[in-house]
Structure 1
Amino acid sequence: MALIPSFFARTFRAFRYRDFRIMWMGACASTIGTFVQQFAQSWLVYDLTKDPFFLGLDLFLGQLPIMMFSLFGGVFADRMDRRKMLLTSQYIQMACAFLLALLFATHVVKVWHILTLSFVVGLGQSFGGPAYSALLPTLVEPVDLSNAIVMNSIQFNLARIIGPTIGGLAYTALGATWCFALNGVSYIAVIATLLLIQVKFVPPKTRERVMTSMGEGIQFIRQRAGMSSLIVLAFCTTLFGFSLNGFLPVFVQTIFHRGPETYTLLLVSSGAGSICGALAVAAMEKTKGQRHLTLLILIGLGIVTAVFAQSKWLPLSCVLLFLGGGAIIASASLMLSLAQLIATDAIRGRVMSVYSLAFRAGIPLGSLALGKLIPVFGISTSLAAAGVALVAVSVYFLFATRDVLSATPYASIDARID
Structure 2
Amino acid sequence: MNEKEFFHHDRPKSMTNVREGLKYALARPDIYVVMLMVFFLGTFGLNFQIFNALMATKEFGKGPASYGLLGTFVAIGSFSGAIASARLERFRKTRFVILAGGVFAVAVIVLSVMPNYTAYAIFLPICGITALTTMITANSIVQVNSDPAIRGRVMGIYLLIFMGGTPVGSPLIGIMAEVVGIRLTIAGCGAIALLATLIIWIKFKDLVEVPSDISVDAVLKSANRNQNNQTK
TM-score range, shorter chain: 0.7 to 0.9
Aligned length: 206
Residue in 2 that maps onto 1:218 = 22
In the TM superposition, 1:6-405 aligns within 5 A as: 206-287=10-91, 290-403=93-206, 405=208
Task: Classify the secondary structure of the residue corresponding to 1:286.
Answer: helix
- TM superposition score normalised by structure 1: 0.46
Task: Classify the secondary structure of the residue corresponding to 1:226.
Answer: helix
Aligned mates of 1:318, 1:405 — CA distance in 2? 36
Deviation at 1:229, TM superposition (A): 2.0
CA contact (8 A) 2:34 2:97 kept: no
Q: Go from structure 1 to structure 2 and tell me whether the alpha carbon gap of 1:382 and 1:356 turns closer, same or farther (over 3 Å shift).
A: same
Deviation at 1:405, TM superposition (A): 4.9
Deviation at 1:398, TM superposition (A): 2.3
Q: Go from structure 1 to structure 2 and tell me whether the alpha carbon gap of 1:214 and 1:392 turns closer, same or farther (over 3 Å shift).
A: same
Aligned mates of 1:287, 1:380 — CA distance in 2? 33
User: Letter of the aligned partner of 2:75 in structure 1?
Assistant: G
Structure 2 portions without partners, runs of 5+: 1-7, 215-232
Deviation at 1:408, TM superposition (A): 4.6
Deviation at 1:374, TM superposition (A): 1.2
**Structure 1, residues 278-302: CA drift from partner, whole Å, max 9, x if none?**
11110234248x4443323222211
Deviation at 1:348, TM superposition (A): 2.0
Aligned mates of 2:146, 2:75 — CA distance in 1? 29
**Structure 1, residues 140-199: CA drift from partner, whole Å, max 9, x if none?**
xxxxxxxxxxxxxxxxxxxxxxxxxxxxxxxxxxxxxxxxxxxxxxxxxxxxxxxxxxxx
CA contact (8 A) 2:33 2:94 kept: no
Aligned mates of 1:308, 1:366 — CA distance in 2? 18
- TM superposition score normalised by structure 2: 0.80
Q: Go from structure 1 to structure 2 and tell me whether the alpha carbon gap of 1:293 and 1:225 turns closer, same or farther (over 3 Å shift).
A: closer
Q: Go from structure 1 to structure 2 and tell me whether the alpha carbon gap of 1:281 and 1:322 turns closer, same or farther (over 3 Å shift).
A: same
Aligned mates of 1:287, 1:257 — CA distance in 2? 42
Aligned mates of 1:367, 1:405 — CA distance in 2? 30
Aligned mates of 1:402, 1:297 — CA distance in 2? 13
Q: Go from structure 1 to structure 2 and tell me whether the alpha carbon gap of 1:291 and 1:339 turns closer, same or farther (over 3 Å shift).
A: closer
Q: CA RMSD in A?
A: 2.2
Deviation at 1:403, TM superposition (A): 4.8
Structure 1 portions without partners, runs of 5+: 1-203, 413-418
Percent sequence identity over matched residues? 24
